[in-house]
Amino acid sequence: MMEVISFKLNGQEVTLKTDPFRRLLDIIREDFDCKGAKEGCGEGECGACAVLLDGRLVNSCLITAAMAAGKNIWTIEGYRETERFQLLKNKLAEHGSIQCGF
């Protein structure tokens, strides 16, 4: 069963025809070439697949296409272009933060 699903991805309205149970992680990687979110555990434990969904950090391996419909999704590819990310990046660099713990 295929459905037409629309959502906002990195500020752009996108539409695709897909299985409503398909994982958001696979959609953003395979259909929209956003490879920043990665598959680690595939079961919601590691956070390697994290994206912002309506401003909340979620694990995209646990989000279906149907759950993403009508939502505003940001991946690191879009988020890194924002002013907020630039500020954060500059502050992390300024304080010499290079790894976990910051």
Contact status: 16 vs ligand FES (CB under 6 A): no
| Using rule CB under 6 A, residue 67 touches ligand FES | no
Min CB(49)–ligand FES separation in Å = 3
Kindly state the smallest distance separating residue 98's Cβ from ligand FES, in Å: 23
Q: Are 28 and 65 in contact (CB under 8 A)?
A: no
According to DSSP, residue 81 is labeled T
Closer residue to ligand FES (CB): 54 or 81 = 54
Report which of 17, 28, 15 is spatially closest to residue 58, judged by C-alpha positions.
28
- Interface residues with ligand FES (CB under 6 A) are 39-42, 44-49, 59, 61
